Structure formats: structure tokens, C-alpha cells
Amino acid sequence: MGETITVYLNDKAVSVPAGTALKDVLRSESSLPMPCGGHGKCGKCRVFVTGSVNAPTDEERRLLSERELASGVRLACRVVLNGEARIRTQEAVSGVRIVSGGVLPAYEPAPFFTQYGAAIDIGTTTLAAALYDPSGALLAKTSRMNPESRWGADVISRMEAARAGKRDEIAAVIRQALSEMLEILALEAGVTASAIDAIVITGNTVMLSFLYNEDTEPLTHAPFIANRLFGETVTAAFLGLTGPLPETKVCLPPCAAGFVGADISCAVLSSGLLSSDETAVLVDIGTNGEMVLSHGGELYACSTAAGPAFEGAGISMGMNGGDGAVDRVWLKEDGTLEAHVIGEREAKGICGSGLVDAVACLLKNETLDETGRLEEDPAVILPPVRLTGKDIRMVQLAKSAIHAGMRTLIGAAGLTPKDVRCLYIAGGFGNYLDIENAAAIGLIPEELKKNVRILGNAALSGASLLLLSKGLQEDVRTLAERIRIVELSANPVFAEEYMEQMFF
């Protein structure tokens, strides 16, 4: 048995064996994000460290300045605790904007619950929840960052962590987070969490699998067939949720495929897509770009790995949409850049909406060419915020995946973008997106920009509908079964479109 040492994490004493990696301590004691999964690649898990630890690694010397290292800044994923040490994190982000709602369409009241019901959306990046009474009144809302981010910003990194033996830990942190959110909802509504007698939880297939503690290994390789597509009702006790009574019903809506999840089933339900005869596309622009086409009574869907660039990860100065984030960029008359910062304070980084604006502006003033080459690398957006050539490359990869996915999906039905009458954009990122700039950089087809409808958190809205009108639970099961999956992994049309859409 090795020596036990005491370290102080934000002044909290924690006893660990000497030689413990700091990232392992943080995964159990903190929600510090590690977008690259703790592999020393992104440089985002910065902490202040003093005491008996290892010397800075080569990765840290590459990602941190000498000044930062001299002041005690380290990358948490590279630190080894050899003796007593003090660690301070900077994980608390004030004023983070999380879209936790949308507009509910008309529905037939038939609550799935008796006293109080909760709807929850487990997003890859954020969590959002709402509490209702039987009349349909919204009593409370809450949201937070997804604590699974400590194992990576995207589902691939997290599934790799699960394969490496972290599956139980991932299940535990998401269950704890949802339990805390249920307590917060009840507190805000002035009731006890035990009065919540039914819950609907939506999310993509991987997020629901982590909650269920289901093995996600089959989703890490072709043919990407999930062990479980849900569409079932279990109990709070089964999912390890505390607060509500153990027998509380929990509905997990159905997924259509391994990477077309229940969040899309719910989004389609709440969008009104099914009640319209028009040809329309619904897309959730996130780390996993899921999209559905409705045409002639048929539903087609696909999923494309866009990566987390538009959610701040993988971008050198990327961050979530919180205080200090550049969220809007535009050109002044002289062709120079002007920007807005959330919270009206000094800029610390740039979020997804600001990133799209910035790239569009750099194209307009010809600082950036169609191949993605910057005239000056890095390009200053608003001091100290800059975009590097590598950042631009990440944007190209993300936007080409989304755009190519849409064109391939539309083409699979024998259509062109001109045939699409409406483009529904769901998700938090889409809520703040400048559509003109999104079209200018090629994130969405130019032909669709005049027909865009922003939905907000359509997945949470759909979960709320299933909570408030239980008859829709059968409808959403039928919906998921109807969806025809368009596979992109070996699709020559997608491959060609992907390369073409890399250009601006």
C-alpha cells in the first residue's frame, strides 16, 4: 500500500495515494471540463497548482506560456500528485447561456403524472429540465453543463473512456446531476422532490446509454448498432435517481438508430414537422449533427460527426456562451472588426455564434480566402481573442460535415435544396446563430437561408409534450420506427459533398 497524502482542492482536503493523477481526483471531486478527454491536447483544463507535483510536461510547455507556468498554471490532465499540494480550479462560469425551452405546439391534455412531472434533456454539452403541474403550467426550469465533459467534449471521447473502465463513473455523475436538478426544480416550485411522480428524459442514444449504464462499445465501430434504442418506461430507482420516490415512472423515448437519438424523435414531435405537408428539414447543429427530412409522408434521417467546434471545444480560445465570450462580430465601414462580449466585460474567448460571425467577417474583408488560408495567422477578433489557422480548419471540418449531411439527406429523397420549403434549426447553438453568416461560411445551403425557423431546445419541448400528453408516447414510438436511416459512413455522395463543402 503506497503512502497516503493530503491535497487541498479549492480548500477541501482530499486524501489520495501518492502518485495519483490529478485528473482522477478531479473526475470524482469536480466538474472541470476536459474537452480532449484528458489526453493533453486541448489545453483547456487549466488549474493553479502549488506543492509537491511533477515537473511540467512537454505537452504543457507546448500549450502554456512560460509566464503561465511560472505563475503556477498547469494542465490538470498532466499533473501527478507526489505529496501535499494545493489546487484551485477556474471551472465556475458565470452567466452561461443554456437554451432550456422552446414553444410547445397545441396538444391534447392527458398528463403522464398526477402531482408534478419533470422533463429533462441530456445534451452532450448541456443539461436542461422543466417542471410542470397537471394543468400544463410551467413551474420551474433549470440547466447546467453536462458533467460528463470531464471525459471529453464529444461522445467518441466519452465512449473511449467507458471502454477503458469508466462506464460506472460516467453513469454515476450523470445520475447525480439529474437528481440535483430534480431537487432544484422542486425547490423553485415550493414542493418536495418526492412529489414528482413521473419524468421524461430525452437525449441522443449515447447519452441515454450512459444514464442507463448500457454498454456503448457497439457504437464505437461500424455498423454502429446500439444495444438498446429505448422507448421504454422504467423507475427512478432503476436509474439511480434520488429525490423522487423509487417507484416514480421514468419514460425514455425511442431512438431511431445508434446516432439518431431520442432527442431528434422529440424534436420532430415538437416541431410540427409531422402535421405539415411541406417538404422540410430539421437539423440539430451540435457535436453530433442529427437531421431529419420530411417529404411526401416519408421521414429520412442521418447523423454526421461535426465535432464540438461550435460549442467552444477544439478552438484555441473557444468557450461556452458565458460572460466574457465574444458572441457577435460584424464589420465596420472601414472593414475592421467590431465585436460584442457577453456580460459587457473584457473578452476571454469566443463562443459558437461569435465564431460563425468572425469567420464570415474575415471572408468578407478578404483576410481569409476560400481555401481557409488566413492572410495573417492568427487573426485578431477582439484583443486578446484571436483565431488561428488551426481554428479555421476546425470550423471547415464542422461546417462541411453539417452542410454535406444536409445535401446528402435531401438527395437521398431525389430532391435538391431548392425543393425544401423550411429548414428548422434546433438546439442551443442555433438559437443564437446569424443565419446570413451561417450561409456565408457554408454551414447551411445558401438556398435555405430564407426559409429558416429557429426552434430553441426542441428536444426538451418534445419531452415536455410526452409528459403533458401521454398518448403522444405511442406516436413518438411509431415516428421513430418510420424513420429511414441514410448511412453516411460509406456514402460516396456524402464523401464528395464533404470535400466540396470544405471550401468557403
Q: Could you report the per-residue pLDDT of 311-340, keeping only the tens digit for each?
A: 877 899 998 888 899 999 999 999 999 999
Between CA 158 and CA 56 the distance in angstroms is 26
Q: Report yes or no on 361 lying in a domain.
A: yes
Whole-prediction pTM: 0.81
Q: Report yes or no on 264 lying in a domain.
A: yes
The count of other CB atoms within 10 Å of the CB of residue 217 is 12
In percent, how much of the chain has pLDDT > 90? 70
What is the average pLDDT across 237-251? 97
Q: Report yes or no on 458 lying in a domain.
A: no
What is the average pLDDT across 367-389? 96
What is the average pLDDT across 263-289? 89
3-state secondary structure of 297: coil
- Give the pLDDT band (50/70/90) at residue 89: confident
Judge whether residue 261 has pLDDT over 80: yes
Tens-digit pLDDT profile for residues 394-406:
999 999 999 999 9
The distance from CA 424 to its chain's CA centroid, rounded to whole angstroms, is: 18
Structural domain for 342, as ranges: 317-387
CB 310 within 8 A of CB 400: no
Shared domain check, 179 and 245: yes
Secondary structure E strands in 296-417: 298-305, 325-331, 337-341, 349-350, 379-382, 385-387
Shared domain check, 253 and 198: yes
Q: Which of 387, 404, 437 is the last residue of a domain?
A: 387
Beta bridge partners of 257: 260
pLDDT for residue 153: 82
What is the average pLDDT across 414-434? 90
Tens-digit pLDDT profile for residues 176-189:
999 999 999 999 89
Q: Report yes or no on 200 lying in a domain.
A: yes
Cis peptide before 308 (omega within 30 of 0): no
Tens-digit pLDDT profile for residues 471-500:
999 999 999 999 999 999 889 999 999 999
Q: Which of 335, 368, 387 is the last residue of a domain?
A: 387
Shared domain check, 237 and 124: yes
pLDDT for residue 97: 53
For the chain, the average pLDDT equals 90
- Minimum mean pLDDT range among 19-23, 57-61, 127-131, 428-432: 428-432
Q: Report yes or no on 378 lying in a domain.
A: yes
Q: Which of 361, 387, 413 is the last residue of a domain?
A: 387
- Minimum mean pLDDT range among 57-61, 65-69, 208-212: 65-69
Between CA 48 and CA 191 the distance in angstroms is 40
DSSP summary character for residue 458: H
Judge whether residue 267 has pLDDT over 60: yes
Between CA 154 and CA 273 the distance in angstroms is 28
How many domains does one find in the chain? Answer: 3
What is the average pLDDT across 217-234? 94
Q: Report yes or no on 103 lying in a domain.
A: no
Shared domain check, 62 and 127: no
pLDDT for residue 101: 56
CB 200 within 8 A of CB 467: yes
Judge whether residue 95 has pLDDT over 80: no
Q: Report yes or no on 409 lying in a domain.
A: no
Q: Three-class SS string for 170-230?
A: HHHHHHHHHHHHHHHHHHHHCCCHHHEEEEEEEECHHHHHHHHCCCCHHHHCCCCCCCCCE
CB 304 within 8 A of CB 289: yes
Residue type, 479: L
Q: Report yes or no on 397 lying in a domain.
A: no
The alpha carbon dihedral of 216, 205, 132, 458 has a sign of: positive
- Give the pLDDT band (50/70/90) at residue 428: confident
Residues 6+ apart with CB under 8 A from 299: 268, 292, 293, 479, 482, 483, 484
Between CA 58 and CA 497 the distance in angstroms is 38
The β-bridge relationship of strands 46-53 and 12-17 is: unpaired
CB 96 within 8 A of CB 320: yes
In percent, how much of the chain has pLDDT > 70? 96
pLDDT for residue 94: 39
- Give the pLDDT band (50/70/90) at residue 57: very high
